[in-house]
Amino acid sequence: MDFTFDRSIQEKIRSVSSKCDLEYWRQVDQEGKFPTEYWNCLAESGLFGVLIEQKWGGMERGLLDLALAVEETSERYAGLGSYLFLSGCLVSSIISSHSSAEMKNELLPKLARGQLKISIALSEESSGLDALSINSKANKMGEHTYSLSGSKAFVNNADLADYLIIFARTSEINPSQKKSFGVSMFLVEAYDPKIKKRKLSKLGMNFVNSYSIDFEDLTVSESRVLGEVDKAWRNIVGIFDMDKILTAASLIGTGRLALSEASKWAKKRTVFGKLIGSNQGVQFPLADAVAQLEVSEGMTFKAASLVDQKKNFGNEAAFALLSSATATTAATDRALQAFGGHGYYKEYNVERFWRDVRAHRVHPVSEELLLASIAERSLGLPRSY
C-alpha cells in the first residue's frame, strides 16, 4: 500500500509545530488552558479542512491523508494535543454527511477556517460505553420543534464550543427493533441558558476541559436534526470508527515523540561513568517500543486506506486503536523509566505523555470492549456485551 504523505500538508504541519513546541505544550498543561495559539495556527493553515470539499473551502482529501497529518502533528511536539485537530475534522465529516444543504452552507466554510468549535455530547454517567442506553429524551412539540431533556458526561470543551451535537432518544427501546433504533442527533447552540455545565477534574489531557451538562426543556428546531430521526446510530457509527483510526494515529505520533525525548536523554545522561544509552537495559525496552509502534502504524494506515476505498473497515479500526494504545502505553512508560527519577517531574515532558496516553485505554472505547468486538467479528464468538 502507498502511504505517501502529501508534502503540502506536511509543510503546513511543520509551520504549526515551529510555533507550538514542547515548551509551549508543557505550559499549556501546567496552566490547564485551551491551546488557543495552536488552534489558530491550524486554522490559519487550513488544516481543519482536510476532509471538507473544496466548494466549502476545504482540501477534499481522504482519511489516510488526515491520519498521516494527525500522526505527524503528534510527533512534532503536539502529542495528544492533536486530539483538537482530529476532533475538529471529524465534526466537519458529520456535518458534511448528515446535514441539510442550508446547514452545510452555514457551517462548513467556518469549520474549514477553524472559526467554529462543535463538541459531541453522547456519553452519560449511567450508560458509559453502553451508548444506546442513554436516558436523554427528545419529545416532538408541534410540527417542527423538539424539546430535549437529560444530562451528558465527559463533554470536551463545552465551555468554548459554539454548538453541541446532542444525542437523545426520540423513540423508546422496542424489543421488536434493534436497540440502536430511536436515537437522534441534534445541533444545539452551546450557550443556550437552559444548558447547565459543571467542570470535571481529571488526570491528564489538561489542554481539554471536560464537563458534565444538564438540560431541561431545551427547544430545538426540527431543521437542526442531523441525519435521520431515530437512525442517528446507523448514520454515525462509521464516523466513530474513523475516530478510532485517527486516535490511533495520534497515539503513534505521541509514542514516537516520547521515545525521541528518551533517546536524546539516553545519549547525554551519564551514570556510573557511562552513557545510559549504551546499556541494553535501556536500549531493549525502547527498541521494543519502536517495533510495536511500527506495527501499529501499518494497521492504522491500512484501516484509513480501507475508508478511502469505501470498503469495510470496522475490524481494522478496532485493531488499530487496540494495538496503538498498547504500544504507546509501553512507549511512554519506558520513556519515563529511561529518565529515571527525573521523568517523574514536570520539568520534563515524559510524565505528561504518560498521563495523557492513559486516557486512551478507556476512550473513545475501552480496550475490553475492543477485544469483545474483535472476538465477535473475527472469531465468530457469541456477543458478550
pLDDT tens, position by position, 289-329:
999 999 999 999 999 999 999 999 999 999 999 999 999 99
Residue 4 pLDDT > 80: no
Average confidence (pLDDT) over 55-84? 96
Alpha carbon distance 111, 187 (integer Å)? 14
User: Where are the chain's structural domains?
Assistant: 7-112, 118-231, 233-379
Q: What is 118-231's CATH topology?
A: Butyryl-CoA Dehydrogenase, subunit A; domain 2 (2.40.110)
Q: Is 227 left (phi over 0), alpha (psi -120 to 50) or beta?
A: left
**Consecutive H or E run containing 337:** helix 314-338
**For 140-154, what is each residue's pLDDT tens digit?**
998 899 999 999 999
At 288, the pLDDT band (50, 70, 90 cuts) reads very high
What beta strand segments (E) does the chain contain?
118-121, 137-140, 145-156, 163-169, 183-189, 195-200, 210-221, 225-226, 270-271, 274-275
What's the confidence (pLDDT) of residue 380?
95
What beta strand segments (E) does 88-182 contain?
118-121, 137-140, 145-156, 163-169
Bond into 364 cis (ω within 30): yes
At 8, the pLDDT band (50, 70, 90 cuts) reads confident
What's the confidence (pLDDT) of residue 129?
86
Alpha carbon distance 161, 45 (integer Å)? 21
Whether the domain at 118-231 and the domain at 233-379 fall into the same CATH topology: no
Average pLDDT over the chain reads 96
> Do 334 and 348 contact (CB within 8 A), yes or no?
no
Average confidence (pLDDT) over 213-220? 97
What's the confidence (pLDDT) of residue 7?
78
**What is 7-112's CATH superfamily?**
Acyl-CoA dehydrogenase/oxidase, N-terminal domain (1.10.540.10)
What's the confidence (pLDDT) of residue 278?
98
At 128, the pLDDT band (50, 70, 90 cuts) reads confident
**What is 233-379's CATH superfamily?**
Butyryl-CoA Dehydrogenase, subunit A, domain 3 (1.20.140.10)
What's the confidence (pLDDT) of residue 1?
67
**For 154-167, what is each residue's pLDDT tens digit?**
999 999 999 999 99
What's the confidence (pLDDT) of residue 152?
98
Q: Which of 133, 119, 113 is nearest to 57 (CA)?
A: 113
At 97, the pLDDT band (50, 70, 90 cuts) reads very high
Weakest mean pLDDT among 69-73, 82-86, 174-178: 174-178
Alpha carbon distance 146, 162 (integer Å)? 20
**For 236-261, what is each residue's pLDDT tens digit?**
999 999 999 999 999 999 999 999 99
**For 9-46, what is each residue's pLDDT tens digit?**
988 999 999 999 999 999 999 999 999 999 999 999 99
Average confidence (pLDDT) over 188-203? 97
